[in-house]
């Protein structure tokens, strides 16, 4: 079976999760199919329970880091099961010099909205969730 030629390092190691390098500079709009908790193992071999989002358009999932979780809560509210069916736009951004998958916004927003992301032991980050065409 022929595969497409990889462009980004992330494409060399496909797996269960969406990777920022696979966007190739484009934003991707996906529909949330489900939100679950799963036990994931980090790079140091430590196990941690995290939220994982599945999408209608792809079998690939998004492990939910705190930054993306805060952005989704700001757009869609605290009741996470009410996020099912909502559209979200993902894009590749930088975090500590590495590619990271981030939430860019949603075509369902009434307009752009400011979100302040407060993480432990870090300065708050001001982000904008964008309204975009579907």
Q: What pLDDT, in 10s, does the model give residues 47-81?
A: 989 999 999 999 999 999 999 999 999 999 999 99
Q: Please state the domain extents for the chain.
A: 9-131
At 130, the pLDDT band (50, 70, 90 cuts) reads very high
pTM: 0.83
**Which residues partner with 34 through β-bridges?**
54
Q: Using an 8 Å Cβ cutoff, are 47 and 59 in contact?
A: no
What is the residue-averaged pLDDT of the chain?
87
H helices of the chain, in order, are: 66-76
Spatial strand order of the sheet with 61-64 comes to 61-64, 47-55, 28-41, 87-95, 98-106, 125-131, 113-117
């Amino acid at each position: 079976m022929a595969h497409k030629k990889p462009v980004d390092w992330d494409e060399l190691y496909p797996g269960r999760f969406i990777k920022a390098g696979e966007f190739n500079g484009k934003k991707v709009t996906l529909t949330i199919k489900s939100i679950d908790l799963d036990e994931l193992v980090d790079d140091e071999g430590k196990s941690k329970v995290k939220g994982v989002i599945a999408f209608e358009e792809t079998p690939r999932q998004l492990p939910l880091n705190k930054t993306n979780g805060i952005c989704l809560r700001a757009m869609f509210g605290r009741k996470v099961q009410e996020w099912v069916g909502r559209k979200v736009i993902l894009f590749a951004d930088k975090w500590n010099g590495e590619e990271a998958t981030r939430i860019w916004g949603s075509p369902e927003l009434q307009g752009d909205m400011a979100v302040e992301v407060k993480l432990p032991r870090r300065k708050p980050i001001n982000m904008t969730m964008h309204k975009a065409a579907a």
